[in-house]
């Protein structure tokens, strides 16, 4: 299924905030390694291959988290990792990696292309991208199609991790639907922005679906810097 996927160069957009995992002492990269480690541990305890990354509201860092988590997993994994843009309302993954938006997810679900044609593989990496595809009038109807459910069932056969960027929970029903199809959900909140009420409402909307944890985005750099400066200075002595 993956042998016919087109290769694209890894040339992220300047404003993409993608992390360089080769710079081991950079604090943000270390945070995503920690998140990766915790998810990999959970994977040893339960069937966990498809993960939704969402947030209560817009501009809380869900796409930033999804993209960099996928990069962190691909940096470590020998097996394939998928980053899929399921935010059909405001897709951005294709812009961050400077690739074409289509063919992509919507084109595959509507039978306009094969799954391999909808994918891109980053050169020199084991990371595959599934952009959103052509614009659609009603994303929720598209995600309700049996093809979407079948896709979630098939992905673990090809990818050790499939990470999905989705719309915010409180602004559409898309993420709630997708959470019922995925193995787990990661909720991203922004320190100093996300309200406790919105976190509560978001968690309630997910009902009994497998919430893996909450990622707090927007910590002050000085706090994280002091944390890792202490760690590395001690370890290097």
DSSP letter, residue 5: P
Locate all alpha helices (DSSP H) within 110-173, ordered by sequence.
115-118, 139-143, 146-158
What pLDDT does residue 37 have? 92
**Which has the closest alpha carbon to 98: 154, 18, 177, 42?**
18
Q: What percent of the chain has pLDDT over 70?
A: 88
What pLDDT does residue 63 have? 94
Q: Say if residues 181 and 54 touch (Cβ distance below 8 Å).
A: no
Mean pLDDT of the chain: 88
What pLDDT does residue 210 have? 85
Whether pLDDT at 6 is above 80: yes
Q: Compare 152 and 229 and report the one with higher pLDDT.
A: 152
What pLDDT does residue 229 have? 40
What pLDDT does residue 29 have? 81
Q: Compare 13 and 3 and report the one with higher pLDDT.
A: 13
Whether pLDDT at 227 is above 60: no
Q: Tokens 């979630």 appear where?
A: 152
pTM of the model: 0.89
Q: Say if residues 185 and 52 touch (Cβ distance below 8 Å).
A: yes
Confidence of residue 21 (pLDDT cuts 50, 70, 90): low
Confidence of residue 83 (pLDDT cuts 50, 70, 90): very high
Burial environment of residue 173 by CB neighbours within 10 A (0 to 12, 13 to 18, 19 or more): middle
Whether pLDDT at 166 is above 50: yes
Whether pLDDT at 230 is above 60: no
d(CA 115, CA 130): 9
Whether pLDDT at 231 is above 80: no
* pLDDT (tens digit per residue) in 42-56: 999 999 999 999 999
Host H or E run for residue 53 = strand 50-54
- Two structure tokens written together for 104: 């992509």
Let me know the angle formed at the C-alpha of 95 by 80 and 163, rounded to the nearest 5 degrees. 30
For the chain, the domains span 6-236
At how many degrees (to 10) do helices 221-236 and 27-45 cross? 80
Burial environment of residue 141 by CB neighbours within 10 A (0 to 12, 13 to 18, 19 or more): exposed
The CATH class for the domain spanning 6-236 reads alpha beta
d(CA 208, CA 210): 6
* pLDDT (tens digit per residue) in 213-225: 999 988 655 444 4
First-to-last C-alpha distance (Å) of the chain:
49
Average pLDDT over residues 165-174: 94
Q: Which residues contact 222 (CB under 8 A, 6 or more apart)?
A: none
What pLDDT does residue 65 have? 94
What pLDDT does residue 18 have? 86
What pLDDT does residue 76 have? 82
Q: What percent of the chain has pLDDT over 90?
A: 71
Q: Ranked by mean pLDDT, which of 8-22, 26-40, 100-114 comes out on top?
A: 100-114
Burial environment of residue 195 by CB neighbours within 10 A (0 to 12, 13 to 18, 19 or more): exposed
DSSP letter, residue 193: T
């Amino acid at each position: 299924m993956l042998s016919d996927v087109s290769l694209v160069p890894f040339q992220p957009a300047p404003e993409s905030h993608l992390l360089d995992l080769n710079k081991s002492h950079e604090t943000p990269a270390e945070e995503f390694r920690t998140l990766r480690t915790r998810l990999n541990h959970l994977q040893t305890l339960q069937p966990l291959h498809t993960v939704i990354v969402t947030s209560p509201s817009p501009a809380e860092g869900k796409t930033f988290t999804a993209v960099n988590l996928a990069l962190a997993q691909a940096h470590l994994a020998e097996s394939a990792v998928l980053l899929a843009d399921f935010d059909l309302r405001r897709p951005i993954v294709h812009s961050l990696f400077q690739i074409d938006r289509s063919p992509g997810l919507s084109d595959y679900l509507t039978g306009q292309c094969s799954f391999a044609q909808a994918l891109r593989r980053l050169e020199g990496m084991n990371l595959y991208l599934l952009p959103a595809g052509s614009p659609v009038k009603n994303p929720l109807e598209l995600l309700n199609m049996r093809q979407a459910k079948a896709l979630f069932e098939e992905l673990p056969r090809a990818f050790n991790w499939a990470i999905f960027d989705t719309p915010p929970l409180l602004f559409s029903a898309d993420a709630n639907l997708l959470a019922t199809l995925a193995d787990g959900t990661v909720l991203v909140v922004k320190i100093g922005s996300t309200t406790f009420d919105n976190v509560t409402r978001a968690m309630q909307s997910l009902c009994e679906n497998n919430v893996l944890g909450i990622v707090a985005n927007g910590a002050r750099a000085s706090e994280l810097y002091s944390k890792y400066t202490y760690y590395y200075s001690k370890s290097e002595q």
